[in-house]
Amino acid sequence: MDQAEENQGDPPRTPAPRINPLFSHLSAPSQEHVSIGNSHSLPVSPLPSAYLQDSTRPYSAIWYPPYTPYHTPISHESHPHTLNTPDPGPLIGVNKVPLRDIEAAFAKDLFADILDGAGKSTRRSTSFVWLQDSTLEDRILVALRCICWAGFEDLNAFLRPLFSKKFSEARHNGIARTIGKFLEGKGAVNNAVELVDLFHKHHLSSQAVKWRHPSPKFTVPWYARPPSIRLNPITDEELAVVNTTRNALLNWALMKVVAHIDKEATGLLTPAYGFVRAPQDVLSWDRMTSLSMIGIQETIAREAPALFTVLTTVATSPVSRKKAGVGIVPQRAPEPTQPEGEASRSDKDSDAMDVDEDVPLENVEDGDSSAFNPFEEERPGLSSGVPDKFLRDPWLGVTVAIQCLLFFRNKYAMVFAVFMGLFLFSCNVNRDIVSALGRIGLTVSYATIIAMLHVLAADTSTRLHSLASNLSTGSSQPSFLLLFDNINKMRRAWQPTIHHQDEMQNGTAATFIQLEDVPPNALKSEPVLDNLRKKARSALTVDDLLDDINWTHVDKAGAGTILRVWIKHVPDLARFKGDVTHLFEVDLAVTRLRLRKSTIIPMRPTGIDESTSNGILDVLRNLVLSQLNILPVWLQIWMIPICGDQMTIDRLRKLKRYMAKTDTPFDRCDWVIPIIQLWHLKWNWMKCIFRDHWSKELGKDVHGLRSDVGLIRREKFNADRVDFYPGHHILEDRFDALILDALRLSCEKKTKIITPENTYLLDCLPQYFGPGKPLEAITFDELKTMAERVYDQYLTFASAEMFHEAADETVEGVESEAVRSENMDPHGPTDEGDTETVVPNTDATLSNNIHFLRMTFWYLEMCAGIAEGDIGRVFEIIKLLRFSFWGAGSTNYGNELLEQACNFLYEFSDDLKTAIFNNYLVNPSGIPGHWFELDLLQEHFNYWLKRLFNSKSHDFDSRHLSEAVGLNIRGFSLLRDRFPSIFGFRRNKGKHTDPPVLVRLVQHFTLANVQVEVHNSR
């Protein structure tokens, strides 16, 4: 090879004359080309070797000037060629402008305010006009040459001082103004962020090795290292991480994000956000039961957006985000995109297989059971920020995770952990589970749970003392009533011996309820004591009790109850639901209570047996003197309502008689007003219904209540014990079936359309009220008239007595149903034109059914009046039970209702009766239709006491059970009720009507009547 050819690519050692190199790349076409990068070529003039590419330098397209920075004096000896006469250089462009003139125009006033201090330069960016054939690359090259000739070796040497130093605005305010304009980030696009993103995406920022880009190496802190090396010291090799520019940017961004997340997490621990409980803060049940996961999520997402974004990105897959985000306009933000060629085939395959199970597939067949969602109606809606397609809530999971992480960060960030611990305690969770969940930060330890329960109990006790302290003035009447009931629990012997056997522990549980809407001085004891001394009750007669009954109201309520059954089960009549509601809320309203949320506070349970007179006295003294800290002198002129079931009220009355000869009003119990409660009374009336209609001697094959219970597959129902809820459902279902059968008979008589044989009742009723049917246009008044007629025929005492004569011996079984169907109107002849078979006017079965309907209607009307908060409607039924309890053999309740009648008719003042009526029911939720009896409330609390009676070493007097459990029963109940809604799902509730059961019942009644009518028509 020739020596000249061998050295052709080497730069010359001796500098060549410098002839206008700034715009040399714009000269004549005969110039050489210098490669830029991998795909660009620029024409340049022959330049000295110092201007050519140096392969050892990082920027291959930058020319480095062979002179020192501008502030260094230039020596003539070191640069002899610069003193020669300037050469005008080649002519450029169409106008043949000398290259030197172009450079002079470009550099005009460049040093105006720098070297001579003459002031601010007057030159603008529009002063220099580029040649038409110059490109963007030409301009960039000129700028790079200027940077290099200014003394900066490379872009790093230029950019580092530009952004790391603070320039003086007094000397060169243009620098600070330019940097500020670049960094201020105004507008839709942030220039600086976009530039960094371009660095990251540039193809030269990462060198591929064997067509694969190297994985990033992160300089993570010690606490983020794998567990195998977490506690080992960090070596120098780990610190000396070498990354490509792209991976280095990722590492830098990660460290910045980590630092910001650390700052956000510290900010969340501010007490104002509610995550932290300081030692001096008072923990209360109001705070625990008012916890809102949506509110917490809102706070975290707003105050710690980076933390929330990172975790929600992990919790939601790309597929689910894409499907759920359809139609949502994303916020305008510079989001770095994946560089070209970065995604490998494995990444694409993983995206294709990344199917989120939370998002149902859109191509699932309608009949595919795998797509069926049993909780579709119970999942949270859009108000919680969860799309409809999500079966689970990843944002809720992230919110819980963040609270657990904050608890790890700060031991006082325990509000959510305490909340979960209390819930787990209320579920009687095994302590090992509590320990395991506490290890991961989901709950506090078991010892802390017990400590928190005592803190909550202290808050409850303080609240009780505060509410009872108004009596201390002597001029303020009591603002509360006391409710208590006996409670028992079998204490099993772990190892039974002759001295250690199973023991039934008896105690008393009590509740404090604040009075509402009490007239002034209504609870003064003197008016009641004066009436008792006068023995005004001796004037009570049977006529007084009969006159007290409002028969008109009872009849209208019966017709309204029938209407409720019809609109409930006949879809074509559902349009009258508003009319029926108005009927009960306005026309039939007697004493509706003001809608409110009752103030209910549990008290300490005790081991006192209240079933004796001595026990009931000890209970009163414990509640009033010990727990409420009330002095006896405070009750000299006042009375406190004491509520309970029949046994409790009976013991209270006996106690007042036994203590009548003592000296002080407190010892004589003049301050006690015994008030019998309604749930046990209602339950006892249910037992009377079953006792009167069960037909135990005749067997289950004889038509009646027992036969129907077997028909609906409830053979295991114990008619002697009569559990409340199973008994309630049986009465309700059979009542509905009989009333629907009465509707069918009325429709057949009115339309002359006979139901075909073997037709379900719920299927045949639409043929009367459906579209295009005879009774389609029936009005509410006409339907109400039909209900009143059915009430007169099947729910009155007179109609029952009409059929009470001995039945014909030839009419048995199904034949007796024929008599019932043919005698729809016991008060008179049928409509003209009717041709019916003449049958004897006696039917014992029909009479029994009428008695059943009448008694069950009283029961259901009490239930409806209680739930709707109309205590007046309830007492209209109680006036009837004053007689019926005696006839049904329940003499204890009959006697108590007579005592109650004496109190309300002769002894209580009008203000006292108003106060008692206004507080006969409670509404713990403040929601319409959610009123219920005081003794039922106490039974709920007793249930939780028994359920949390989880230690064999504790009794009802123990500090654990009386304080940690007893004073927190109300909180446990609220917590269990609110827990599903806090986490976005609904609590499972039992249904009061089982449609298949009702279908079987109404089929039974329909087939019996149809077969009999066909037989008689022959």
pLDDT computed for residue 953 by the predictor? 62
Residue among 599, 602, 557, 484 at smallest CA distance from 919: 599
- How far is Cα 441 from Cα 455, in angstroms, rounded to an integer? 21
Q: Is the pLDDT of residue 83 over 50?
A: no
pLDDT computed for residue 492 by the predictor? 74
More confident site: 173 or 897: 897
CA angle 912-917-922, nearest 5°?
130
Q: Which of 739-748, 850-859, 870-879, 978-987 is predicted least confidently?
A: 978-987
- Give the rounded percent of residues in the chain with a pLDDT score beyond 90: 46
Give the model's confidence band at 72: pLDDT under 50 very low, under 70 low, under 90 confident, else very high: very low
Q: Taking residues 227-246, what's their average pLDDT?
A: 74
Does residue 937 sit in helix, strand or coil? helix
Give the model's confidence band at 581: pLDDT under 50 very low, under 70 low, under 90 confident, else very high: very high
Look over the chain and give the mean of its residue pLDDT values, rounded to a whole number: 78
Q: Is the pLDDT of residue 841 over 90?
A: no
Secondary element (H or E) of residue 744: helix 724-751
> Looking at the DSSP assignment, which residues form a beta bridge with residue 487?
507
- Produce one character per residue of 202-223: b if its CB has 16 or more CB atoms within 10 Å, e if not: eeebbeeeeeebeebeeeeeee
Q: Which of 384-393, 558-567, 824-833 is predicted least confidently?
A: 824-833
pLDDT computed for residue 998 by the predictor? 62
Give the model's confidence band at 891: pLDDT under 50 very low, under 70 low, under 90 confident, else very high: very high
Q: Is the pLDDT of residue 935 over 80?
A: yes
Burial classification of residue 145, based on how many CB atoms lie within 10 Å of its CB (0-12 exposed, 13-18 middle, 19 or more buried): buried
Crossing angle of helices 415-426/431-439, nearest 10°?
Answer: 160
pLDDT computed for residue 145 by the predictor? 86
Q: Is the pLDDT of residue 186 over 90?
A: no
Q: Taking residues 670-694, what's their average pLDDT?
A: 96
Q: Is the pLDDT of residue 806 over 70?
A: no
Q: Which of 153-157, 191-195, 316-320, 817-821 is predicted least confidently?
A: 817-821
C-alpha of 458 from chain center: 28
- How far is Cα 778 from Cα 770, in angstroms, rounded to an integer? 11
Q: Tens digit of pLDDT for each residue in 478-528?
A: 999 999 999 988 777 777 777 777 778 889 999 999 999 999 999 999 999
- How far is Cα 486 from Cα 499, in angstroms, rounded to an integer? 26
For 245, 759, 799, 897, the CA distances from 272, given in Å and listed in that order, are 42, 66, 70, 55
Give the model's confidence band at 939: pLDDT under 50 very low, under 70 low, under 90 confident, else very high: very high
Q: Which of 103-107, 485-489, 534-538 is predicted least confidently?
A: 103-107
Q: Is the pLDDT of residue 236 over 70?
A: no
Distance between first and last Cα of the chain: 131
pLDDT computed for residue 1013 by the predictor? 36
DSSP code of residue 218: -
Residue among 361, 363, 364, 358 at smallest CA distance from 380: 358
Which of 70-74, 127-131, 258-262, 814-818 shows the highest mean pLDDT? Answer: 258-262
Residue among 552, 560, 579, 554 at smallest CA distance from 787: 560
Q: Is the pLDDT of residue 828 over 50?
A: no
Q: Is the pLDDT of residue 904 over 70?
A: yes
Long-range CB contacts (< 8 A, 24+ apart) of 948-951? 948/425, 948/426, 948/428, 948/972, 949/489, 950/428
Give the model's confidence band at 951: pLDDT under 50 very low, under 70 low, under 90 confident, else very high: low
Q: Taking residues 2-22, what's their average pLDDT?
A: 46
| Backbone dihedral angles phi then psi of residue 52, each to the nearest 5 degrees | -85, 170
Give the model's confidence band at 65: pLDDT under 50 very low, under 70 low, under 90 confident, else very high: very low
pLDDT computed for residue 124 by the predictor? 59
Residues in the chain: 1018
pLDDT computed for residue 984 by the predictor? 79
Q: Which of 240-244, 619-623, 697-701, 988-992 is predicted least confidently?
A: 988-992
| Backbone dihedral angles phi then psi of residue 675, each to the nearest 5 degrees | -125, 110
- Produce one character per residue of 628-664: b if its CB has 16 or more CB atoms within 10 Å, e if not: bebeeebbebbbbbbbbbbbbbbbbbebbeebeeeee
Residue among 507, 539, 538, 480 at smallest CA distance from 673: 480
Q: Taking residues 315-322, what's their average pLDDT?
A: 85
How is the beta sheet containing 640-644 ordered, strand by strand?
A: 600-602, 503-514, 480-491, 640-644, 672-676
pLDDT computed for residue 861 by the predictor? 98
Alpha helices in 150-271 (DSSP H): 155-164, 169-183, 191-201, 236-239, 245-268
Contacts of 113 (CB under 8 A, 6+ apart): 119, 120, 121, 172
Single-letter amino acid, residue 660: A
pLDDT computed for residue 284 by the predictor? 87
Residue among 871, 846, 863, 579 at smallest CA distance from 732: 863
Handedness of CA 130, 135, 140, 146 (dihedral sign): negative
Q: Is the pLDDT of residue 304 over 60?
A: yes
Residue among 675, 667, 734, 703 at smallest CA distance from 819: 703
Tokens of 438: 């506490």
Q: Is the pLDDT of residue 635 over 80?
A: yes
Does residue 521 sit in helix, strand or coil? coil
Contacts of 536 (CB under 8 A, 6+ apart): 906, 907
CA-derived radius of gyration, the chain? 46
Q: Is the pLDDT of residue 131 over 60?
A: yes
pLDDT computed for residue 23 by the predictor? 63
pLDDT computed for residue 241 by the predictor? 63
Long-range CB contacts (< 8 A, 24+ apart) of 203-211? 203/339, 203/340, 203/341, 204/37, 204/245, 205/244, 205/245, 205/246, 205/249, 205/339, 206/244, 206/245, 206/246, 206/247, 206/339, 207/244, 208/341
Residue among 689, 682, 728 at smallest CA distance from 862: 682
Which of 49-63, 346-360, 362-376, 517-531 shows the highest mean pLDDT? Answer: 517-531
Residue that is written with structure tokens 């059968």 in the block:
741
Tokens of 899: 């005592």
Q: Tens digit of pLDDT for each residue in 418-447?
A: 999 999 999 989 999 999 999 999 999 999
Q: Is the pLDDT of residue 687 over 60?
A: yes
Residue that is written with structure tokens 């004889």 in the block:
702
- How far is Cα 304 from Cα 51, in angstroms, rounded to an integer? 52
pLDDT computed for residue 831 by the predictor? 43
- How far is Cα 549 from Cα 928, in angstroms, rounded to an integer? 28
- How far is Cα 787 from Cα 784, in angstroms, rounded to an integer? 5
DSSP code of residue 525: S
Secondary element (H or E) of residue 728: helix 724-751
